[in-house]
Structures are given as structure tokens and as C-alpha cells.
Amino acid sequence: MAEKPYHHGDLRAALLAAAEDELTEKGVEGFSLRSVAKRAGVSHAAPAHHFGDTGGLLTALAAEGFTQFQDTLDAREVGATDARDKAVRAGLGYLEFALARPALFRLIFSSARPDFASPDLIAAANRAYEHLVGLVTTLGGGETDVLALWATSHGIADLSAGHKMRTLQGKSPAAREAMIRDVLLRCLPGA
């Protein structure tokens, strides 16, 4: 059987996109390099050549996931009226990412499969964490405030992505957002 010819302009990006599709469809338990290669339309050896093994590909996908997570927060913060609004918008971005990409959200925050000692993954995760710390510090808060905002944002996002946030179910998008804004404001320093 002849291997498929390489036609991608950016094989790494194509493999990461195929990996996210695979993760979304089959979960981390059913994830395989061979299936990712098939989705990307490349030889079964291509993912291993670029990422080593399944763990390497999931690690690279997690690093990219944290980058995209932070990009979602940054985009949501555009137009903030002040530091408090910016922090609340970041929390809403957290939820937006979790709802739009639940498999990737769980990979970066709940899975033990990526190598969290990888320098690229550490850098991407630290960028997101330092952003959170910066939002809280700007408001005069400390570690406890960081923990409050992070835990609350993550809890709302995780429960919502898993369709477990009954309090929000059935509400209009505007009503849901208003309720979440109120909760997030309570977590901020000086609330």
C-alpha cells in the first residue's frame, strides 16, 4: 500500500487540527496517532515524526490549547471599561472557551496525558496563569483573590461544559451572562 503524499503547507498545524478533531470525537481514551494521520491525510508515520508518540502530540495540542484559551480571554477583554470589567470579561472568556471546545478544555485542565513538564506546555500554561494574576493584582488583590477568581471561573466553565450548571439552564444568553457577571464580581478584590 502506497503512503499518501504530503500536500500540507504546514503539516504541524494540520496534525494539531486533526488531533483536536480526534480528541473531540473519541476523547483522550480513544485517541490514536494512526487516526490523526488519517484525518490529516498523511502517512501514519507523520505524527510520530513530528511529535514522537501519542503523549507528545497530546502535549503539543495542550500547549496550543492554552494559547488558544488565552487568545479567547484576550478577545473577550477587548472593550473593557475598567480593570474590574476586564477581569469579569476574562471569566466570561473562560466559559466561552469551555463551551466552544470542551474536549480541548478538559485536555488542558483535567487530563494527565499531556507532559506538563514540557517547556512549551509550561510556557503556555504560565502565560494564562500570569494573565490571571495580573488581572487580580491590578485590582489590588493577592493570592486568595487569584484563587477565588480562578476557581469560580473554572467551576462555572467546567460545570457548564458538562451540562451540569442547572441554575443557568433555560435562561436566555443575556440572563446567563448577567448572572455570571454578578458571581464573578463577587470574587474580585473589594467586592
Model confidence over 168-184: pLDDT tens digits? 888 999 999 999 999 99
* Contact (CB, 8 A) for 46 and 11: yes
Higher pLDDT pick, 85 / 7: 85
**Which of 24, 119, 131, 111 is closest to 70 using CA atoms?**
131
Rounded to whole angstroms, how far apart are CA atoms 153 and 160? 11
pLDDT number for residue 9: 66
The topology (CATH level 3) of 53-187 is Tetracycline Repressor; domain 2 (1.10.357)
Mean pLDDT of 119-136: 97
Mean pLDDT of 23-38: 92
Mean pLDDT of 89-117: 96
Model confidence over 128-144: pLDDT tens digits? 999 999 999 999 999 99
pLDDT band at 8 (very low <50, low <70, confident <90, very high): low
C-beta contacts of 19-22 below 8 A and 24+ residues apart: 19/47, 19/57, 19/58, 19/60, 19/61, 20/61, 20/65, 20/101, 20/103, 20/104
pLDDT number for residue 169: 84
Whether pLDDT at 105 is above 50 = yes
- Helix segments in the chain, DSSP class H: 11-26, 33-40, 46-51, 54-77, 83-100, 102-110, 119-138, 143-161, 173-187
Q: Which of the residue ranges 113-122, 126-135, 158-167 would you say has the lowest mean pLDDT?
A: 158-167
Whether pLDDT at 3 is above 60 = no
pLDDT number for residue 10: 85
| Per-domain residue ranges of the chain | 53-187
Q: What percent of the chain has pLDDT over 90?
A: 81
The per-residue pLDDT of the chain, averaged, comes to 92
